């Protein structure tokens, strides 16, 4: 008996920041950002809103879509790299904010591959009988990660406050990665009960720890004493460092490889796939994946232009939109694929159950 997705929901913040808005705080243009990333705009939460808040909103929307109550959930799996606090993780906060019982609530940290790993964990729990209903949610609030001053935030959100030359230079220094990210969350409700050949059919998940420096945050870790220092913050060790070229080459090769592996294990072929829901990191990566698969944007769609990279939120947000648009119906074969910091990557195959007669 396989695991099937019975409900989806998303949480998208109201604050829209376009590429033009970013040009007010750094040396960039809409053309520069679009040609390098595909991002046209992204969303940010209001100050004081955490990833647990977005996650709870997405979970409640998914439960409503599934026609289920929070009290019917047996397991909650949360994926984020931007938790509300260093400790604890957000799973307990989401459990409390959604009114779930005192169930098992997991925090997983596979960054951009977090939701994919969460699906696999949910399937293991459901297939083994350890749970009957599981919720997986990916949620990110990247705004606090960005190295922008209060004046920069005021200006980028439409205010008229001037920023200093130092702020403008600092924002420009970090533009290669800061223009990529946005806030958002997506959730899925899964139950056991798929018929033969339906639901989650298999997965192929991998980790290559030797590649952890492709994208990482070198500071504010507990091997340092103390783990946060003023000198470290001054040196920007709390901000991401990224090997863009290395990420591109690995993601473009390894996501399709993982997809081919799981297809072979399930007796399916690439031509059987109707749609690939790939991590929305960068449109250049997505185009590279399309070339590897030999398909176009219809089969490997993108929504990064509207949201930016929402890390653990990209897969469920895109899947929800495809489902709402009628792109995922009874019998649709979906390939989920992701690559992220760690380096964690993989793919999973899912067939939407046939509609009830």
Indicate which residue of 171, 309, 320, 344 is catalytic: 309
The verdict on whether 20 is a catalytic residue reads no
Determine the Cα–Cα distance for residues 121 and 67; give it in Å rounded to an integer. 23
Cβ-contact 61, 187 below 8 angstroms: yes
Q: Which of 279, 282, 335, 344 is catalytic?
A: 279
- Asked if 37 and 179 touch (Cβ cutoff 8 Å), the reply is yes
**Would you call 309 a catalytic residue per the annotation?**
yes
Determine phi and psi for 186, rounding to 5 degrees: -145, 145
Q: How many CA atoms lie within 13 A of 264 on its CB side?
A: 7
CA 27/CA 42 separation, integer angstroms: 18
Query: Exactly one of 112, 171, 282, 335 is catalytic; which is it?
Result: 112
Are 74 and 132 a contacting pair, CB within 8 Å?
yes
- Residue numbers annotated as active site: 112, 279, 309
């Amino acid at each position: 008996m396989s695991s099937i997705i019975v409900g989806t929901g998303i949480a998208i913040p109201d604050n829209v920041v376009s590429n033009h808005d970013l040009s007010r705080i750094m040396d960039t243009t809409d053309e520069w950002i679009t040609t390098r990333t595909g991002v046209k705009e992204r969303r940010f939460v209001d100050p004081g809103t955490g990833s647990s808040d977005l996650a709870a909103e997405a979970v409640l929307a998914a439960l409503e879509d599934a026609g289920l109550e929070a009290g019917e959930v047996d397991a909650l799996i949360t994926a984020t790299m931007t938790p509300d606090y260093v400790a604890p993780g957000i799973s307990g906060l989401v459990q409390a904010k959604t009114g779930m019982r005192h169930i098992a609530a997991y925090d997983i940290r596979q960054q951009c591959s977090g939701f994919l790993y969460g699906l696999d964990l949910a399937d293991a729990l459901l297939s083994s009988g350890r749970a009957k209903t599981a919720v997986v949610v990916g949620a990110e609030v990247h705004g606090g990660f960005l190295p922008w001053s209060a004046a920069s935030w005021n200006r980028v959100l439409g205010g008229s406050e001037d920023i200093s030359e130092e702020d403008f230079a600092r924002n420009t220094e970090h533009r290669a990665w800061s223009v990529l990210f946005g806030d958002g969350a997506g959730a899925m409700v899964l139950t056991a009960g798929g018929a033969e050949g339906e639901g989650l059919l298999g997965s192929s998940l991998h980790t290559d720890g030797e590649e952890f420096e492709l994208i990482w945050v070198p500071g504010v870790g507990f091997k340092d004493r103390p783990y946060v220092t003023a000198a470290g913050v001054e040196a920007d060790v709390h901000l991401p460092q990224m090997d863009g070229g290395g990420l591109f080459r690995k993601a473009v090769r390894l996501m399709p490889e993982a997809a081919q592996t799981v297809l072979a294990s399930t007796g399916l072929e690439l031509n059987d796939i109707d749609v690939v829901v790939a991590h929305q990191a960068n449109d250049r990566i997505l185009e590279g994946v399309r070339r590897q698969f030999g398909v176009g944007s219809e089969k490997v769609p993108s929504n990064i232009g509207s949201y930016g990279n929402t890390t653990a939120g990209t897969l469920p947000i895109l899947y929800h939109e495809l489902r709402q648009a009628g792109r995922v119906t009874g019998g649709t074969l979906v390939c989920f694929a992701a690559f992220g910091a760690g380096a964690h990557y993989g793919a999973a195959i899912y067939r939407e159950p046939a509609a009830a007669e």
